[in-house]
Each structure stands twice: as structure tokens, then as C-alpha cells.
Structure 1
């Protein structure tokens, strides 16, 4: 197998080639390691690694031997240092003694973890430019952001170094980097994927985990592997009627689909982004679906205020835990300015204010739930613009907590709603801008509707294919040039 062949295969196809004996898992790991090292010189997407050998994994899993990376946040692997994008943990980070439940599932699926990927400090950014690592760059144009907070994972997958990588999402952090890098990014329903044992409802229920990939079938198959409950989980979802992978290519039926392209924040939406959504709407209409202009009623100011309260309280709790564990004291010398501002804001919240934020989250969930009694799906942009320039979402800017939230969600105004509701949403790379940057289109559905989202995503993947696009920074291009 050469680099062109490797980089052209998604995780499903690569697993089949390894299982056939055409190539060994060791040979694939060596090729992936070289690919990660090569593209990382341009992208700065690796926080730790690549490792000398993959982390232990099941030899008989669905994805046995498929190269993989884990994001440096929430999920962790036994014995692998984690820094969570913050200098507060020091250059050596924290070395956990045990896997999280999701890491157990990734190992059981056979995924061969080779690296840890970059994230913004403690995850609260739509960009990945933590001072702890430096800026992660977009493989389509390295002057632009790779998105966040799963920017490192997305950059490596888009650049052909990996077919799939771990990601998580507390306000858009799977979907935003998927949009920036031209990938598939599914945020599952609250409780669909385990976040224990460290967390019950991570980020007050707004945080969920899965991955970024290049194909809908990889996302579906990976969800089949990790959608497993554990004793003590606070949310237990009934298993799907059939495997999620069987939804890919399945009949969608005739659906009622709402389309909305105006920012709930009132912020600017790039015309090319709106046009991409309109093109997707036309493709769905041509497939026989009923398409309407409609939106749930979103009180943006209330949503934003509750969001920053919940995020700030979560950050304050996390920083207090790191201080207790390490003996360090958080301050301007080891926290970025916006992180410190959010931590201080979180420390000042009263129990009544925090409960008010949770009540607001309940209210928006009820409104979106009501909306989905009239529509099966909602189609929107993923981001207001294609990937912004590096530095636009500077986590070390001199901004207060609310100002920082306004800046993030002015650009990422279509994603945080579905974190508050706990409902699933997926970003699909259905278009490119005139400058050659990917444009993500978001599909959202009611709670537990991953099967439907995957069915419709597969339809759009066929109607508006993206597989033949390749970014400027790509493993096959760089390694062939250097050979």
C-alpha cells in the first residue's frame, strides 16, 4: 500500500483491506505515522505523538488496525498525558491511570490510536489556537482556522493522515471543525455516547462525544461501536431499531424539512454559505421531500446568557479540580485571558443564577421539541462563514466572559442551540467557497433521531458528493513530493 491508496480509503474500506491480508495493520500504522508527521509540520495539529506504536486495541474489532487519534479533552487513555490545551497542567500534563468509557469502546472497536490532537484551552472556543500548543492551521488554506474545539482531529483527517478521529461537542465543537475542514461531523443526542466515568451529564448535559470522518458510513459504523450504556449513566437511550450503518442508503420516506439561513444571533451570514444551504434544500426537494421556510423561536439573548453561565461554571469547576490535583494556582501566567475571565465569572455565579440558566435550557428545549412536532428535520448553515482567518477567535484577547461568548457565537450561531436541547445535529461538507474553503451545512432533528439524520446525510452525500476534493496540505501530495 502506498500513501495515495491509504489516503483515499475511509475507515470502513481500510479495515476491509487490513482484514483481507493485503496489508498488515503494522504496515498501515507505519504509513499513518509518517503521514501524521509530514502534515503536522504544516498544520500543528498534534498535541502528543505520534507514538512509537499504537495504543493497545482489539485485533478482532470492526475497525481493527485503523489508525486513529484522540482529542486532548474530556476523553483520556490510561498512561497517555493530557493537557486539555492549558498551561495550567504544565508541559508534562496529567497522566490518567485508567481509560474513560469511550476510550474503552474505541479500543474494543479495534481503532489503533497513534496521537493526541490539539484543542483550544479547556475547549471553549470555535478555534484551536491554544497558547499551550500554538495555532492549528487549516489544510485547505493555512492562513485560516481549523475550527474548534476539535480542530486538531479535523485537520489531520482532512489532510489524509487519518480516516477518522475522536471529537467532542459542547457548543459546536464537532460540527464547526467539520465545516471548516470539509468533513462529516455528527453531534449525537445527549446520552447516546458514554462520557463516564468522570462525567455524568458533561457540561450540564451540553457536552457529547463522537468523531469527525470523511464519509457518512464511517460515522454510522463508529456510532454503532460506541453507542453503549454503562451502569450509572444519567441518561439511557433505547438502542436503535437496527444498526446505524443500515441507515446509510435506506429509504428516507417523504419528510417535512424546515430551512433557515438567518443567524439567530442577528450576525452576518456569508451569502455563499446561505447559497450552499439553498442548494441542499433544492436537492432534498428534488428527492421528493416537502421543504418549508421555518425556524423555532429562539430568544438569543436568553440562550447566550444561559450558555455563558453554564460554560463559565463548568470551567470554574474544572480549573478548581486542576488546582486541587496539581497544587498550581490559576492566574494570568497559566490561563489565557478569556478563560480566566470565564472562570472568574463562573466563580461569582450564585446557585440561583445557575439554576436560572438550567431553567432557560429547559425552556429552549421545550420550544425546539414543539417545533419538531411539525417538522422532521431542520436545515441550516453550520457556521456563518467559511473558516475564518487565524486569530479571529483569539482566546487570549482582552474580553469579558459575555463578550467572549458573543464573539464565538457570532460566527458559530447555528450550533449551540442543539447542545442546549440535547438533540442531534450533523454537519456535511456540501459546498466550497469561491476561495476554495469548505462550507458545512447542518441538519438537526428531534431527540434520538440519529438514524434519520444518517439516512438523509447519505442521500445528500450521493446527490452532492465531496469525496473527490483534496486540500492543499494533504499527506499524499506532500509525501509524494518528498519521495
Structure 2
């Protein structure tokens, strides 16, 4: 098939429209995506488990006549169970796990006509802000600068979308794992309200309700469409999101007036962050003021440090549970090379946490949610940087550290680097990273905006306003040009 030389000038919505009009076929789009993967993935190491024959077979069998019919798509290599698409889940212990069923979200995506052809890399257990799992043979790199990380845990998805292999990809977010790669790769990453998207049927919740599915895209409308496709209650789910008034796509056309917006350019504990990150948030706040909204400097009065400690305990227990389940299926003990040091240390830490300790950690997280709900009862939105500094160098957050607690909570740990994102996994409130700034060195810097629980449509409306006012779709990393050759 002929390669579409202008393929990455289209977002997923445009590609689907082209298929519907007969301008190009699903096979042609898949061929182009695979050619771009061949050209770019050796440098990025973002794709794994490429299943082109399965994708071709699904096209030949007839795609559903849905709103994204024929669009090439990638699933994160963490959860997202899918028939015909084995996963490593970022771990040597879990490599080549096969699935006899599709997750609820995957079922909804396939019904929309998308063409899945591979998975994207993630760190072991999804507990990192970089994507450098040993099972993939090397780090995943940022297309804006290969010396830097694309973030984590949806780092492979971020790198693949940013480089133009696909216009959109699946991600998941338990502590910032969509928004960190979005910030690092110059993408739009929207974490919806808890339970807006289904988590089953394999589990009712991830990490005490803090983890949620989602997407990384280059355009706001692609995320809006994907969220509409995926949203909706799931039978037996332990949580429920408030129903939408209309839809994410319709929310893009609304223009809210006179919103009360809080601006925080320090961490929520009051610590300074990199000046370029603070400046990005300030610039976004000025833009919102120009749109007629009311901005004032404020930060939440909430126990963020205590929440982070509780988050760390809950995630350690989740890691240990996943390891125990896999070893039970294998019928053996843990071997020295099964896990990287951070995951092994997380399992060791989990053994020190009693049932009462675990429930206390959940109560701490829920109390934090009430504190943040109180703050966002006074404001419609909270604007901050997404990260405390521009994208880190490859290797800084590799999983070769011996201490999981130091990796997460240490002075050079994940929470010092990403002090904002996990707050809204704990609270369950919707939050987004928008690509509104770039560093002096040419690296993307995301601006983070959070909204009250259930106010997803309001947040999407504001994102669409910002995209119209400061469009970013045409900003492409240097590596994307290589894929056009």
C-alpha cells in the first residue's frame, strides 16, 4: 500500500472521516502506521508485541461501522486485556501473558471500529514516571530529545503519539500516568472522574480506586470522542461517576463564562518548582483571564504529604498482589530475575503493611479527597504546572534503585518530580495536562488543570477554549519528520 505522506497531519477524527468518505482504506492506514513504526520505533523503543497479522485479520473480517472505523490504535502494555494481543505488563515475570477475553473498555473501542495492532511500553507495575522496563531491552525515549524520558507509566503511548505513529493511543493513570507523558511529549492527556471509564471485568478497582483508564492524543476532539466511546457504567462496578449532562464532544462547543480559577505555581505544600514550569502555569492563567475568567493565587489546604505516603503503601500492596497472583498461576517461588529492584522492594515493603495499615491508608486517601473537594467547592478550576521540572533525562528514574520508598518519596524521587498529578487520583477529580509551553531547550512543558468531581464536561470545555486560543497540533518533534521519509 502507498504510504500516506501527510498521515500525521490528520488526527484520529480526520482519519475516520477519510475512511468513511473512501479517501483511504483501513488497510492503507494500518500499512502507514506500521511503516512509521518500522522507521521510528528503533530509536524510541515505544512499541511492543506488534501483531500486524491479527490487525489485518480483524480488518478482513469486517470492522464495525463506528465513529473511529479504520483508525490505527495502540493499547498500553498494562492491563487492557485483549484477545490476540499478548502483554508483558512491563515485567519479565509477566511477559507474554495471553488473554481469553477483552476488557470492557477494549470491547467499547473495538465496537467503534478502531484497528489495534500493537501495545506500548510501560514501567514494571506502572509505578514509575519514566518507561525503562528491562523486559523491553532498553529505555523508551522522548521524540523531542532522545536523551530524555517520555514519562510514565504510559510512556510508550506518549512517545508513539508524539512521533506520529498513531494519532491517539490508550493509556491509564493511577498517579499521573497519562498526564506525565502528555506533559513530557507535548500531548493532550485527560484523566476523567473516577469510574467515568470501566475498569473491568478483571478487577473492580485499581489501587483503591485511584487508577483509571484514558487516552493520549494530539487534539482535544480526539480525546473527547474516545471518552464518549469509552464512558458509561459497568455492571457491578464499585464506584459510579455522576452522569454526563450531554457528551464530551458537545462540551467542546460550550464556552463557560466567569469561572473562578485558582492558580498555584508552587507545589501544594508551598515548595518552589522549576521557573519554566511555574511560568507556563502563569501564562495559561493570563490566557484564561483574557477569556473573561477570574484568577487568584491560591493553593489547597490539604495534607498532600500524608496522602503521598498512603498512596505509596496502597500501590506497594497492589504490586505485591499482582506478583502473588502470577506466581500462584506458575506454581513456583519468585526467582532473582523475575522483578526489577523497585518492584522487588515494593513487595518487601508490602509485607510490612498490616490489614489495619492498609485500611488506614485508604482512609487517608479518602480524607484527602474530601479536603480537595472542599477546595474545589470554592473554585471551578485549579491551574498548576503538570511537573515540577521539564522532562527528566533517561536513567534518572530507572527501576534499578534498591528502595521503593526512596524511589517514590525521596528528595529526588517521583513525587518531588511530579507533585501534582497523584493528588487527583486520590481525590477522583478530573484533571488534564495541556501542551501549552516548551522549555528553552525545546522540551514540552505541560499545564495542569483540575476540576470538581464530576465536572468533566466543564473541564473539556475549557480545554477546547485553550486549544482554540493557543493551538499546538502543528508543533511536531524533530523525530516525527524522520517517519515521513
Q: Please say if residues 149 and 393 of structure 2, whose CA atoms lie closer than 8 Å, have aligned partners that are also in contact.
A: yes
TM-score (norm 2): 0.96
- Aligned 1:219-368 pairs, distance under 5 A: 219-264=223-268, 268-368=272-372
> Displacement of 1:82 after TM fit?
1.1
Structure-1 residue corresponding to 2:18: 17
Q: Distance in 2 between matches of 1:376 and 1:266?
A: 21
Question: Is the Cα contact below 8 Å between 2:304 and 2:423 reproduced in 1?
Answer: no
Match in the other structure for 1:119: 122
Correspondence for 2:221? 217
The range that moved more, 402-411 or 177-186, is 402-411
Asked if the contact 1:316/1:343 (under 8 Å) is kept, the reply is yes
Partner residue of 2:419?
413
Residue 132 of structure 1: SS of its match in structure 2?
A: helix
Within 5 Å, give how 1:387-402 maps onto structure 2.
387-402=391-406
Distance 1:13 1:5 in 2: 12
The answer to whether the 8 A contact 1:260-1:294 is kept is yes
Q: State the Cα RMSD in Å.
A: 1.5
Which residue does 1:170 correspond to in 2? 174
In 2 relative to 1, CA 400–224 (structure 1 residues): closer, same or farther, beyond 3 Å?
A: closer
Q: Equivalences for 1:111-190 in 2 at 5 Å?
A: 111-133=114-136, 134-190=138-194
1:171·1:416 contact (CA, 8 Å) conserved in 2? Answer: yes
Residues 9-41 of structure 1: CA deviation (Å, up to 9, x unaligned):
000111001100011111111111111121101
Q: How does 1:419-430 map to 2 (within 5 A)?
A: 419-430=425-436
* Separation of aligned partners in 2, 1:334 and 1:267: 38
Say whether the 8 Å CA contact 1:308–1:402 is kept in structure 2. no
Answer whether contact 1:43 1:139 (CA < 8 A) is retained: yes
For 1:266 and 1:255, the matched residues in 2 are separated by 24
Distance apart, 1:171 and its partner CA: 0.3
How far apart, in 1, do the equivalents of 2:363 and 2:64 lie?
46
**Given the superposition, is the C-alpha separation of residues 50 and 8 from structure 1 closer, same or farther in structure 2, using an over 3 Å criterion?**
farther
Deviation at 1:238, TM superposition (A): 3.9
State the shift of 1:401 in Å. 2.5
- SS of the aligned residue for 1:245 comes to helix
Once structures 1 and 2 are overlaid, which stretch shifts more, 244-253 or 334-343? 244-253
| Pairwise CA distance, 1:229 | 1.7
Answer yes or no: is the 8 Å Cα contact 1:29–1:67 preserved in 2.
Answer: yes
Mapping 1:73-112, distance limit 5 Å: 73-90=78-95, 93-112=96-115
Secondary structure at the aligned position of 1:4 is classed as coil
Gaps of 5+ in 1: none
Asked if the contact 1:384/1:412 (under 8 Å) is kept, the reply is: yes
Q: Is the 8 A contact 2:85 2:118 kept in 1?
A: no
Which position in structure 1 is the counterpart of 2:437? Answer: 431
Once structures 1 and 2 are overlaid, which stretch shifts more, 279-288 or 460-469? 460-469
Q: Is the 8 A contact 2:401 2:407 kept in 1?
A: no
- Number of aligned residues: 477
TM-superposed CA distance for 1:86, in Å, is 0.5
Residues 10 and 214 in structure 1, CA contact (< 8 A), matched pair in contact too: yes
User: CA 1:331–1:338 in structure 2 vs 1: closer, same or farther (change >3 Å)?
Assistant: farther
Q: Aligned pair 1:33/2:34, yes or no? A: yes
TM-superposition CA deviations, 1:384-443 (whole Å, max 9, x none): 111100011111112242543431111011101000011110000001111100110011
Partner secondary structure for residue 194 of structure 1: coil
Residue 454 in structure 1 maps to residue 455 in structure 2: no
Query: 1:69 corresponds to which residue?
Result: 74
- The question of whether the paired residues in 2 share the 8 Å contact of 1:252 and 1:456 is answered with yes
Checking the alignment, whether the CA contact within 8 Å between 2:3 and 2:31 is kept in structure 1 is no
Query: SS state of the match for residue 16, structure 1?
Result: helix
Q: Deviations over 1:170-189 (max 9, x none)?
A: 00000000000000001111
Q: Distance in 2 between matches of 1:167 and 1:232?
A: 23
Q: Please report how far the alpha carbon of residue 75 of structure 1 lies from its aligned counterpart in structure 2 after TM superposition.
A: 1.1
Secondary structure class of the residue paired with 1:189: coil
Aligned equivalent of 2:473: 467
SS in 1 for 2:53: coil
The residue that corresponds to 1:7 in the other structure is 8
